[in-house]
Amino acid sequence: MDRAYAAIKSVIATWHALVRDDRGATAVEYGLIVALIVIATMASISNVADITIAMWNNVSERVVHAR
């Protein structure tokens, strides 16, 4: 009975230590910040790409019609 009690007490102590440990929280926060930056960058690049494609299509049409 004492061994079972000691094992349960050890598991509970380990559980409490894991719950109180916040070292991984900083890594998760940095990961979320990086993810937001990547999403914002992708949206910006996509918007710039659409504008650039439209510009080059306009240039192409003007060159074709200039002949």
Which ranges of 1-67 does DSSP label H, i.e. alpha helix? 2-20, 23-66
Number of domains in the chain: 1
- The pLDDT score that the predictor gives to residue 1 is 63
Distance separating alpha carbons of residues 31 and 34, to the nearest angstrom? 5
Give the mean model confidence (pLDDT) for residues 58-66: 90
Tokens 């510009």 sit at which residue? 55
Domain that holds residue 15: 1-66
Distance separating alpha carbons of residues 54 and 48, to the nearest angstrom? 10
Q: Which amino acid, 54?
A: A
- Give pLDDT tens digits for 31-60: 999 999 999 999 999 889 989 999 999 999
Give the mean model confidence (pLDDT) for residues 5-20: 82
Longest CA pairwise span in the chain (Å): 97
